[in-house]
Amino acid sequence: MIHITEDQVRKHLTMPKAIELMREAFGELASRHAVNHPRRRVILPTGSILHYMAAGGPRYFGAKIYASNPKHGVHFLFLLYRSEDATPLAMIEANALGQIRTGAASGYATDLLARPKSGVLAVIGSGFQAETQVAAMRAVRDIREVRVWSRSPEKRAHFAGSVGGVAAASARAAVENADVVVTATSAKDPVFEDVWISAGTHINAMGSNQAGKRELPGAVFARAAVIAVDSLEQARMESGDILIAEQEGSWNGAGLVELKDVASGKAQGRTHPNQITIFKSNGLAIEDVLAAGYVYEQVTG
């Protein structure tokens, strides 16, 4: 078993390649050549949490394990094995791996669901995940304008400058008339109002994977023609955006589909330029498996 570092992951896993790997991952799910187990958590009285999720495909299988503490951050590892004979192959430092594949999943969903000529991107959030979200949107659409809003004026301005965007004066100023909206926050409550979302907008919500937290208002689900999730099983366990919208009665579940079914044609995607579409990302272990397997192949030659 070899050890693969964050620097090696960043060297080999480009955003275009990561999006290609997400296409492969969801194709394997659609064809039932992949098995995915949802995330589980061990929660300690100290506030430390152990998160673990596993999946496997024809070539590789493995598990992502990460530990978090609200005062001390998050630490990610991925354990990669060969599917044929269960040989341990690599232990991979996986902060960058998760960051890149999360952006790539949003990029793949955007390529499937957003209007082809989408050019204005709004990003709510300026933290760890936001950078690869912008990179992914640029990989699949000709983005001519990036608007950024987050609670900290300093972080907002710094992040906007780093991605060649503009710092918006408010969340509303960022979101109104945007073609694509990305939410990448740790918010517990909606980060924008439904009425700010224009007809035809595509939304990627990836900040929350806990049942009691959400980034999107329930009313926007009721307006959306398509609400795609990476896994219905996992969404029913931890997608606060979806669970709270249903519980409060603002949405009846209409339009909820899995992304793999949109990709395969089993479920309908966007059919009109004025439709609102949503990708609610929780993150799947099979995404990590494909990304980790590719990095392993590049490192070992």
Domain boundaries, the chain: 2-98+285-300, 105-280
Task: Give the count of beta carbons closer than 10 Å to the beta carbon of residue 85.
Answer: 6
- Each residue's pLDDT tens digit, 92-114: 999 999 999 999 999 999 999 99
Q: Strand 256-258 vs strand 2-4: parallel, antiparallel, or unpaired?
A: unpaired
What's residue 8's pLDDT? Answer: 98
CATH 1.10.10.10 is held by the domain 105-280: no
| Two structure tokens written together for 137 | 């949107």
DSSP-assigned letter for residue 288: H
What's residue 7's pLDDT? Answer: 98
| Two structure tokens written together for 174 | 């960022």
- Each residue's pLDDT tens digit, 205-219: 998 788 888 999 999
122 pLDDT above the threshold of 90: yes
Q: What is the mean pLDDT of residues 122-127?
A: 96
What band does 60 get if pLDDT is binned at 50, 70 and 90?
very high
What band does 19 get if pLDDT is binned at 50, 70 and 90?
very high
Superfamily of domain 2-98+285-300: ornithine cyclodeaminase, domain 1 (3.30.1780.10)
- Tally the C-alpha atoms within 13 A of residue 1's C-alpha that lie toward its C-beta: 12
- Each residue's pLDDT tens digit, 34-43: 999 999 999 9
CB 176 within 8 A of CB 156: no
- Each residue's pLDDT tens digit, 244-293: 999 999 899 999 999 999 999 999 999 999 999 999 999 999 999 999 99
Rg (CA), the chain: 18
What's residue 135's pLDDT? Answer: 97
